[in-house]
């Protein structure tokens, strides 16, 4: 059966009282003209259907949109090639550097995302009523400077954890997980700034600028993180995206995309500079030198470099190429793994190297080369390339049962999210801040299950510490679901 036959026809059932399909279907409708013109029509229509249905499942007003963000980001990685190919008049096979079953890979990824969205929706349950008013009460009970100082101390704590991680041996991953706690404090600062009308935005802008400046440099220049967490916090704050708000948001989005294109153009030369030609994923020069090199490389770009980099960024964003090669080789060349990869991923969090010194290291590129035969670069060349958790699920269980571990992942994400947000009193608001950083390891389709699953499990530890140790000491132990002192919000508070 061809992919064209597999893709379902889309029928919109409307009631007489309905006049629109709802906001979840707005983007799919806007994409329809591109979907129906070009060589990838059937799959593009299926992608629109998956986008609308998945958004419907995961849109939860007044809550942090991390679940929806995970779905949307991976949808872009699976589907953007279809629409880009239609605009260029090219089949998706022409966008791939490798021969393989590209159409089937995209179809399985989109179906996997539909399964993921459905199981997340089931495990997360209905939206939690009254959560946003509780968050308003919580952040209004203290002046804005309190939340700014909380962010500063959280950043200092995270910086210490990150510094100690390199020399901590078996505790490295735990410390790196704790280092991400700064993002929970940043979301609390965002809530305290935007959920209360008329509060000053100066402190938040300073924090945003500080985090963005620090993200420039490093080996990966992960500047998109601060944009994503800012967006999560603003959506959770129920910011009304009118013209006054949409304009700066659009500017920020444009800046992020522009930086992504520029980074694509310079990252090869930049990484060779910061690791001093060692080929390792390390930074051996100081921060001023990193920034100076970025400025130098950007100044050398010409008008031909940016379009080529934009094309490269779109092709890099699509992540079906390795999966397509795997579909050609498994089980034709190599047999199904029978659960070996995902079984290892599930066991790893419960096998600390301190007790299991012979536990193998995770080597994404080695596993990718084993199942694709492509000879991709490994850690010896300063990189790590994964097939993605969906390709690994296929290798383990085949094209039908691969959706079982994906469904299990969705149940975990939805259940973990709900557990964080059903805390009594102040704990629920802390859960709102913790959920995005705790679930962020599941954001990318290219992440290996061998890294994603342990990272998600490890994130339980800092969440538990904040909710059961730090939270009660900072904000008081909640009683009968109320905040300490039952403080009412003062929405005209500007400080």
**Span 342-352, pLDDT tens digits:** 999 999 888 87
* CA atoms of 13 and 132, how far apart (whole Å): 32
Of 97-101, 138-142, 388-392, 416-420, which range is least confident? 97-101
Per-residue confidence band for 130, with pLDDT thresholds at 50, 70 and 90: confident
pLDDT at 237: 87
- At residue 295, does pLDDT exceed 50? yes
Q: What is the DSSP letter of 92?
A: G
- At residue 218, does pLDDT exceed 70? no
Say if residues 154 and 434 touch (Cβ distance below 8 Å): no
pLDDT at 22: 59
pLDDT in tens, 449-492: 999 999 999 999 999 999 999 988 888 744 444 433 333 444 44
* CA atoms of 412 and 109, how far apart (whole Å): 19
Measured CA to CA in angstroms, residue 175 lies from 181, 307, 384, 458 at distances of 10, 40, 21, 10
Residues 6 or more apart in contact with residue 128 via CB below 8 angstroms: 63, 418, 421, 422, 428
Cβ burial 434-444 (10 Å sphere, 16+ → b, else e): bbbbbbbbbbb
State the pTM of this model: 0.85
pLDDT in tens, 304-330: 777 777 777 777 778 899 999 999 999
pLDDT at 17: 33
- At residue 296, does pLDDT exceed 90? no
Say if residues 376 and 97 touch (Cβ distance below 8 Å): no
pLDDT at 341: 95
Question: What tokens does 182 get?
Answer: 């700064």
- At residue 102, does pLDDT exceed 80? yes
Give phi and psi for 479, each to the nearest 5. Answer: -125, 125
Secondary structure, 3-state, 376-422: CCCHHHCCCCCCCHHHHHHHHHHHHHCHHHHHHHHHHHHHHHHHHHC
Q: What is the average per-residue pLDDT within 406-430?
A: 93
Question: What tokens does 143 get?
Answer: 């002046």
- At residue 419, does pLDDT exceed 60? yes
- At residue 62, does pLDDT exceed 70? yes
Q: What is the average per-residue pLDDT within 257-272?
A: 74
Q: What is the average per-residue pLDDT within 175-204?
A: 92
pLDDT at 277: 64
Give the count of beta carbons closer than 10 Å to the beta carbon of residue 414. Answer: 24
Specify the higher pLDDT residue, 1 or 227: 227
* CA atoms of 367 and 345, how far apart (whole Å): 13
* CA atoms of 223 and 136, how far apart (whole Å): 29
Of 40-54, 70-84, 364-378, which range is least confident? 364-378
Most confident segment among 189-203, 294-308, 340-354, 360-374: 189-203
* % of the chain exceeding 70 in pLDDT: 83
In the chain, the N- to C-terminal Cα span, in Å, equals 63
Q: What is the average per-residue pLDDT within 38-61?
A: 94
φ/ψ bin of 196: left (φ > 0), alpha (ψ from -120 to 50), beta (otherwise) = beta
Specify the higher pLDDT residue, 7 or 217: 217
- At residue 187, does pLDDT exceed 90? yes
Specify the higher pLDDT residue, 336 or 174: 336
* CA atoms of 382 and 372, how far apart (whole Å): 20
pLDDT at 442: 96
DSSP helix/strand/coil, 324 = helix
Per-residue confidence band for 8, with pLDDT thresholds at 50, 70 and 90: very low
């Amino acid at each position: 059966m061809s992919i064209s036959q597999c893709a379902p026809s889309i029928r919109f059932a409307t009631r007489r009282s309905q006049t629109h399909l709802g906001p979840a279907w707005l983007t799919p409708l806007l994409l329809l003209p591109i979907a129906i013109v070009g060589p990838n029509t059937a799959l593009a229509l299926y992608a629109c259907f998956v986008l609308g249905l998945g958004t419907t499942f995961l849109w939860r007003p007044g809550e942090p949109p991390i679940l929806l963000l995970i779905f949307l980001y991976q949808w872009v990685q699976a589907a953007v090639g279809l629409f880009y190919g239609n605009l260029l008049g090219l089949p998706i096979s022409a966008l791939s550097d490798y021969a393989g079953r590209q159409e089937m890979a995209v179809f399985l990824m989109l179906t996997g995302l539909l399964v993921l969205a459905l199981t997340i929706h089931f495990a997360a349950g209905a939206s939690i009523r009254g959560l946003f008013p509780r968050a308003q009460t919580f952040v209004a009970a203290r002046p804005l400077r309190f939340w700014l100082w909380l962010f500063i101390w959280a950043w200092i704590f995270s910086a210490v954890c990150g510094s100690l991680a390199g020399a901590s041996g078996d505790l490295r991953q735990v410390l790196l997980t704790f280092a991400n706690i700064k993002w929970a404090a940043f979301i609390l600062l965002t809530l305290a700034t935007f959920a209360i009308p008329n509060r000053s935005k100066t402190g938040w802008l300073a924090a945003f600028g500080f985090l963005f400046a620090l993200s420039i440099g490093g080996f990966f220049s992960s500047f998109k993180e601060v944009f994503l967490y800012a967006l999560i916090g603003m959506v959770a704050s129920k910011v009304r995206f009118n013209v006054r708000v949409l304009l700066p948001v659009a500017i920020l989005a444009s800046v992020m995309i522009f930086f992504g294109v520029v980074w694509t153009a310079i990252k090869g030369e930049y990484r060779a500079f910061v690791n001093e030609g060692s080929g390792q994923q390390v930074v051996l020069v100081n921060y001023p030198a990193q920034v100076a090199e970025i400025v130098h490389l950007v100044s050398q770009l010409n008008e031909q470099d940016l379009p080529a980099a934009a094309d490269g960024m779109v092709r890099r964003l699509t992540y079906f190429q390795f999966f397509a090669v795997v579909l050609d080789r498994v089980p034709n060349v190599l047999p199904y793994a029978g659960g070996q990869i995902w079984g290892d991923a599930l066991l790893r969090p419960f096998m600390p190297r301190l007790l299991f010194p012979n536990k193998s290291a995770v080597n994404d590129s080695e596993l990718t080369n084993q199942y694709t035969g492509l000879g991709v670069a490994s850690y010896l060349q300063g990189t790590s390339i994964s097939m993605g958790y969906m390709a690994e699920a296929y290798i383990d269980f085949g094209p039908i049962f691969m959706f079982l571990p994906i469904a299990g992942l969705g149940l975990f994400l939805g259940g973990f999210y709900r557990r964080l947000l059903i805390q009594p009193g102040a704990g629920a608001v802390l859960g709102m801040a913790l959920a995005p950083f705790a679930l962020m390891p599941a954001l990318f389709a290219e992440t290996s299950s061998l890294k994603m699953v342990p990272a998600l499990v490890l994130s339980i530890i800092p969440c538990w510490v904040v909710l059961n140790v730090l939270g009660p000491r900072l904000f008081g132990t909640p009683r009968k679901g109320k905040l300490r002192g039952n403080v009412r919000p003062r929405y005209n508070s500007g400080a």
